[in-house]
Every structure is written in structure tokens, then in C-alpha cells.
Amino acid sequence: MTRIKPKADPWLCAVAAAQSSVDQPNALFAALDRAVKSAIGHKLFTILAYDDASGEAARVYSNLPGPYPAGGRKRLAPGPWTEAVLDRGEAYIGRTQDDLRNVFSDHELITSLGCASVLNMPVRWRGRTLGSLNLLHEAGWYDEDDVAACLPFAQLTLPALLAQAP
């Protein structure tokens, strides 16, 4: 009987290997940025950590620190987006500038960076959303296949987000 050997995904392996680095969470976040850009694609990539107690999101990583610096915080207003991503743990795909305009108050800045679509991928632990990977690109870039491809990357973010939890 011939055994078919599984093939390791080099990007997932690179992200997993980055977790062993002493320079955390920077090594992990940089590896995620490179891997997600190559595997799925993005122009803007941020990682947010959510604080249930304050109702705020804190940006813990950004590949464009000029317009979107790490450390930025924003209050999250209840609505369909927060119910889907934060409460139910569902990915959100916005495919057009109108989708972004309906969800994000900073849609003009996003558009000025050449982005008109988004994939917000929640990072979940024990039924709670602790954060999200946020990928933004040109209009129509993301679809349901990207949600499946992004899930392992999002969950590999978990140790870094747990370490930052209050």
C-alpha cells in the first residue's frame, strides 16, 4: 500500500515557528503579516485585540504604522458588524467601498490607501472573540474561500492575544 504523505503549508509552518521566538509578539505578528499577504493578499493588515470590559478595540499590529499605528484604540458601537464578528464569531467580508462606508467610520482613510474590500477574521477562544485579523485590499478581493484560508492564521494569533488579555 502506498502512503500519501501530507504536505505542510510553508506559510502556516513559518507562523507556527515564529511563536518560538523570544521577541513576542513582534515576531509572530510580522510572520503573520508575511504569510497572510502571500497566502491571501492584503494592502493593509492590522490585528486588533478586544476588551469586553471597556468595549474597546486596541490595534496591536499594523503593516502601515503611519496611518494606522499600533496602540490606537476605538470604541465599538453595537450593531450588525459587532454582533456578527464579536458576538457570534463570524468573519465579515466587505466587497466594495459602500460596504466599508456602512461599517467603518474611517472609510475615507481606508479608501485613500487603495483599499475597497475587507476581511475581518475573528480570533476565538472558549466561545469569545479576543481579537481579529483585518485584511484590506482592492474592491472584490475577498470571498468565502479566503475565510477558510484565514482561519488557521487567525487562530495561531491566539497565544499573543491571550498574553495581552486583561
DSSP assignment, residue 41? -
Taking only the tens place, the pLDDT of each residue in 98-133 is 999 999 989 999 999 999 999 999 999 999 999 999
Residue 63 CB neighbour total at 10 angstroms:
18
pLDDT tens digits, 37-92: 999 999 999 999 999 888 899 999 999 999 999 998 988 888 888 999 999 999 99
Q: Which amino acid does the sequence have at 58?
A: A
Tell me the whole-structure pTM to 2 decimals: 0.93
37-65+76-164 domain in CATH 3.30.450.40?
A: yes
Domain spans of the chain, in order of start? 37-65+76-164
Q: For every residue of 93-138, which 3-state class applies, written as one string?
A: EECCHHHHHHHCCCHHHHHHCCCCEEEEEEEEECCEEEEEEEEEEC
